[in-house]
Amino acid sequence: MHLNELAGVLKTTGDENRLKILCTIFDAKKVCVSDIASTLHLSVAIVSHHLQTLSQQGLVTPVREGKNVCYELQKTPFVADLKKFVCKYR
């Protein structure tokens, strides 16, 4: 990962709601948009927007399950390190 890519990822993860979403996925391994919205008391539209941004940065991957879209973490060293760091401060 180059510095400009790292800067983009860190900017993306600098949002409190996105960190909460990542923590929810860290705990569940794979979770649907509506479940995240319910858990965090956010609208589905807001969660969906944040997940799209996280997906564009390569942190999560969408998985269609029937009518639902669920998300799981990318299996990268950066995501593993992020999990250790983020979960430490919850």
The mean pLDDT value for 65-69 works out to 90
The mean pLDDT value for 57-85 works out to 91
Q: How many angstroms separate the CA atoms of 4 and 76, rounded?
A: 18
* pLDDT tops 80 at residue 89: no
| Beta sheet of 60-65, edge-to-edge order | 30-32, 68-73, 60-65
Task: Tell me the per-residue pLDDT of 12-54, one tens digit each, with 9 for 90 and over.
Answer: 989 999 999 999 999 898 999 999 999 999 999 999 999 999 9
Cβ atoms within 10 Å of 5's Cβ, excluding its own: 12
CB 55 within 8 A of CB 62: yes
Query: How confident is the prediction for the chain on average, in pLDDT?
Result: 91
Q: What's the whole-model pTM score? A: 0.89
Q: How many angstroms separate the CA atoms of 5 and 37, rounded?
A: 28
Domains, the chain, ordered by start: 3-88 (1.10.10.10)
